[in-house]
């Protein structure tokens, strides 16, 4: 596997980062995950915009222009296999003597990207849907920043795994839905798609946006608003989205069936629309 680190491409075995890197010491950095279909990054401009938002959120200068990012990422894709990949891109505040405050003067950021083979959910999972648990959202108040400091998300996902589930669905203040530990969550009720608002309490998912665009373009009724915990438990369907999972139906919640316990009509509508959209983008 060939990776990109601080301006050079190299085999992953040769990549070295200092133990004083602020990403290692403080989790002081941000990241992106970008799916690549047929060697083309999906929604690259949107991912780079979100990266800029994350960098602004932690007051770190973007090391590259959009064009330079595109060059780096296309070269990374070309140097790796297979045609469908996903890029993990990671920027930290660099290497400095340990001190919470930013290094002054600033030091060069650590810029790292790798590309892995992309495996999208298998047919069995699309047919069965996944099981989730609900967990209290105990994260900070800047969940809109794609921070590499993921300990809360790690613990929340682990709680799901220990309960035999695929994902944790997060409930803030014992009152309303925010998102999943590493995904966005939609509720379906009476044929309408409900989405939590993109605020500081959730990551603005790129897949989330695609789903709402597809709903708008296909006359699927939807509403973006706070969704109560009661609405989550009373949902006809629950949908999970992320760049690597695409769209999945949540069919069990806290051990009980969601709706009739099988992927429902909204999933049956949106999943093929998403697949068609993906293929269309690949052709362009
Ligand atoms: N929320 C969180 C906390 C995430 O980590 C992710 C992505 N892994 C998402 C939502 C989904 O975002 P995207 O659709 O851009 O992958």
Q: What is the pLDDT of residue 279?
A: 80
Say whether both 252 and 156 belong to one domain: yes
Which range of residues forms the domain containing residue 172?
123-283
Say whether both 79 and 128 belong to one domain: no
Ligand 1 mean position to 122 CA, how many Å? 19
Give, in order, the Cα–Cα distances in Å from 212 to each of 76, 145, 209: 30, 21, 5
Active site residues: 146
- Which one of 78, 98, 117 terminates a domain? 117
Q: Are 262 and 129 within 8 A, CB to CB? A: yes
pLDDT digits (tens, 9 = 90+) for 119-154: 999 999 999 999 999 999 999 999 999 999 999 999
Ligand 1 mean position to 182 CA, how many Å? 5
| Phi, psi values for residue 200, rounded to 5° | -75, -5
CATH number of the domain to which 75 belongs: 3.30.470.10
- Which one of 117, 151, 172 terminates a domain? 117
CA-nearest residue for atom 4, ligand 1, is 182
Ligand 1 mean position to 98 CA, how many Å? 30
- Considering only CA atoms, give the Rg of the chain: 19
User: By C-alpha distance, which of 219, 237, 218 is closest to 227?
Assistant: 237
Q: Is 205 in the pocket of ligand 1 (CB under 6 A)?
A: yes
Q: 3-class DSSP state for residue 71?
A: helix
CA-nearest residue for atom 2, ligand 1, is 182
CATH number of the domain to which 213 belongs: 3.20.10.10
CA-nearest residue for atom 9, ligand 1, is 183
pLDDT category of residue 284 using cuts at 50, 70 and 90: low
Say whether both 37 and 176 belong to one domain: no
- Into how many domains does the chain fold? 2
pTM greater than 0.90: yes
User: By C-alpha distance, which of 20, 29, 8 is closest to 91?
Assistant: 29
Q: Is 208 in the pocket of ligand 1 (CB under 6 A)?
A: yes
Q: 3-class DSSP state for residue 26?
A: helix
Q: 3-class DSSP state for residue 136?
A: strand
pLDDT digits (tens, 9 = 90+) for 195-233: 999 999 999 999 999 999 999 999 999 999 999 999 999
Q: Is 182 in the pocket of ligand 1 (CB under 6 A)?
A: yes
Ligand 1 mean position to 51 CA, how many Å? 13
Q: What is the distance, to the nearest Å, from the Cα of residue 36 to the centroid of all Cα atoms in its chain?
A: 14
DSSP state of 108: P
């Amino acid at each position: 596997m060939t990776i990109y680190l601080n301006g050079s491409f190299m085999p992953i075995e040769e990549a070295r980062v200092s133990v004083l890197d602020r990403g290692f010491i403080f989790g002081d950095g941000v990241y992106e995950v970008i799916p690549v279909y047929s060697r083309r990054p999906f929604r690259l401009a949107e991912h780079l915009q979100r990266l800029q938002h994350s960098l602004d959120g932690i007051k770190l200068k973007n090391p590259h222009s959009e064009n330079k990012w595109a060059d780096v990422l296309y070269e990374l894709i070309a140097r790796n296999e297979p045609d469908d990949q996903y890029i993990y891109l990671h920027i930290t505040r660099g290497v400095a003597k340990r001190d919470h405050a930013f290094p002054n003067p600033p030091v060069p950021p650590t810029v790292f990207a790798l590309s892995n083979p992309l495996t999208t959910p298998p047919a069995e999972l699309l047919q069965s849907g996944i099981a989730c648990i609900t967990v209290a959202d105990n994260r900070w108040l800047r969940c809109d920043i794609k921070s590499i400091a993921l300990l809360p998300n790690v613990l929340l996902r682990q709680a799901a795994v220990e309960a035999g589930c695929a994902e944790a669905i997060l409930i803030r203040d014992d009152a309303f839905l925010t998102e999943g530990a590493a995904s966005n969550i939609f509720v379906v009720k009476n044929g309408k798609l409900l989405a939590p608002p993109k605020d500081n309490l959730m990551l603005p998912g790129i897949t989330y946006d695609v789903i709402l665009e597809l709903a708008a373009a296909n006359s699927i009724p939807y509403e973006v608003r706070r969704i109560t915990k009661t609405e989550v438990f009373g949902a006809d369907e629950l949908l999970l989205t992320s760049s690597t999972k695409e769209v999945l139906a949540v069919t069990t919640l806290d051990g009980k069936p969601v709706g009739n316990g099988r992927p429902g009509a909204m999933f049956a509508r949106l999943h093929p629309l998403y697949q068609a959209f993906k293929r269309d983008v690949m052709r362009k």
